[in-house]
Structure 1
Amino acid sequence: MSNASSIGTSSNLAGTTVVIVGGTSGIGLAAATQAKAAGAQVIVVGRNAANTEEVAAKHGFDGWRAADVTDGAALEAALRDIARVDHLVLLAGTFVAGKIREAEVDYLRRAFDERIWSAVDAVRAVGDRLSQDGSITLISGALADRPTAYGTAVLAAASAAMEAFARGLALELAPVRVNALSPGPIDTPIFSKALGANRDAVVESMRNSLPLKRLGTADEAGAGVLFLMANGWMNGATLNLDGGSRLV
């Protein structure tokens, strides 16, 4: 598959089939466009059919599917007709924030449903159509290491669980490689939606406190996804891509 001169480079992706769940915006879309540029056949999965179809057409992706990742049957149906998957990327998930004594439990439960259980459903749905020399990339987040006091306890727990899940799955599915990307503050639509009207003030505060004095970009995080797919020796690991935000 790879040779010494191309290990860890996106050239490893040429001719492979990459399926990105959550590939219509933010980090997922950035990873999808970069994988397409590297020569991969890219299929994106989004929640809204019309939007997913539009995004796929706009960027020249090779296919699209629509499914709510919290609906296991819908996700299985979306993935069942893909004959071969070389790299499965699972980046779907909203910003679930709420204090455990105040928020609705069903709402808080989405943090795990959108991450752990959707990943279980996706891996089961793909089954043995996942290439033995391929990979799975999961998404966690800096909250796994540094939860905040503002209602992120459950989301932090779900993020940490994704990293443990990646390590366990790397053993269970070997030689399929399984890794997790743990981004810090990335300027994406989900980030802006989570902050709402407070976005500008929060971003300015972050710029003052972060080592690099800025948020990360979706393209930078997407490049991390490509690295995890392309490097054949990266396995059972979490890639912290946070601009040093864990240091402060």
Structure 2
Amino acid sequence: MKFTTDPAMFLASQSLEGKTVLIFGGTSGIGLATAIQAKAAGASVVVIGSDLARSERIATEHGLEWRAADITDTEAVEAALKDIGHVDHLVLMAGSFVAGKILETDTHYLRRAFDERIWGALDVIRTLDQRLDQRASVTFISGVLAERPNAWGTAVLAAASAAMEALARGLVLELAPRRFNTLSPGTTDTPLLGRTLGDALGGYVTELSARLPLKKIVPMQQAAAAVMFLIQNDFMNGETLHIDGGQRLV
């Protein structure tokens, strides 16, 4: 096998020209930021959001192809993917902030943490089947809770996040040579964070930032750049990429 150190050839290998990137949760936050960066790298990008009107509006604004489906609804996922052809890179960013203490919260609600992540991911992969390229990359999302759970009603979400990392490692072997990795971001400046915290957002971010090694939370563009790294580097496989500025250490 012949190897090259030519930087031009390496940079050309990072191009996504002629590739299709499919992003669930691609109409907001890290997913949308990834879609924008992937398009800039030359990819054809399809984003799938849960809300039809929002998906159309956001995709049109950024020149992206779009579909709408609740990732927990198998039939909706199948319908959304019905006319999707070959997929080179699959990114699964869908997932809400499911929180509630286990002795106080309806377990049907808490199950959504796993439905949106584990079962949703499997439905997408099974539905795509052979349309997912044999050398495709698949990127899941977990989060800092997987390593640093707290006592504020996030035990189930932490478990679902950790499960995504384990699922990726298992699928590396089961569905080789496709690549599976997981992005584990710290607290990230996304619309979801704002919706979750509401009026408490400013105070929370200020207090948390003071305790973090870098004194700031993660910009979503930096998290998206980490997804792009997982997509473009052919030897990232079975990894959990932490982009938290050291949050899991404090």
Give the TM-score of the pair, scaled to structure 2.
0.95
Tell me whether 1:91 sits opposite 2:85 in the alignment: no
SS in 1 for 2:14: helix
Using the alignment, how far apart are the partners of 2:183 and 2:219 within structure 1? 14
Letter in 2 for 1:30: A
8 Å CA contact 1:90–1:119 kept in 2: the answer is: yes
Letter in 2 for 1:127: D
Mapping of 1:1-248 within 5 angstroms?
5=7, 11-61=14-64, 63-248=65-250
Identical positions, percent:
58
User: CA shift at 1:68, angstroms?
Assistant: 0.5
Against the structure 1 CA distance between its residues 111 and 7, is the aligned structure 2 distance closer, same or farther, given a 3 Å change threshold? Answer: farther
SS at match of 1:43: strand
Post-superposition shift, 1:73? 1.0
Q: Tell me, what secondary structure is at the counterpart of 2:15?
A: helix
Higher alpha-carbon deviation: 33-42 or 189-198: 189-198
- Structure 1 Cα separation of the partners of residues 12 and 138 of structure 2: 17
Cα separation, 2, equivalents of 1:137 and 1:12: 18
* Counterpart-to-counterpart distance in 2, 1:50 and 1:41: 21
Which amino acid is the alignment partner of residue 46 of structure 1?
G
Task: Provide, for residues 99-130 of structure 1, a one-character-per-residue CA deviation record: whole Å limited to 9, x for no partner.
Answer: 00001111101100010000010000110011
The C-alpha deviation readout for 1:151-203, integer Å capped at 9, x for no partner, is: 00000000000000000011111000010000001010111111222211111
Higher relative contact order (CA 8 A, sep 6+): 1
Q: Any unmatched runs of 5+ in structure 2?
A: none
**Cα distance 1:11–1:70, how it changes in 2: closer, same or farther (>3 A)?**
same
Q: Secondary structure of the equivalent of 1:19?
A: strand
Distance 1:117 1:8 in 2: 36
CA RMSD across the alignment: 1.6
Distance 1:8 1:110 in 2: 41
CA gap 1:180/1:9 in 2 versus in 1, 3 angstroms: farther
Asked whether the 8 Å contact 1:9–1:231 carries over to 2, the reply is no
Moved over 6 A (4+): none
5+ unaligned residues in a row in structure 1: which ranges? none
Distance in 1 (CA, whole Å) between partners of 2:117 and 2:210 is: 31
Report the Cα offset of residue 247 of structure 1. 1.4
Q: Give the TM-score normalised by structure 1.
A: 0.96
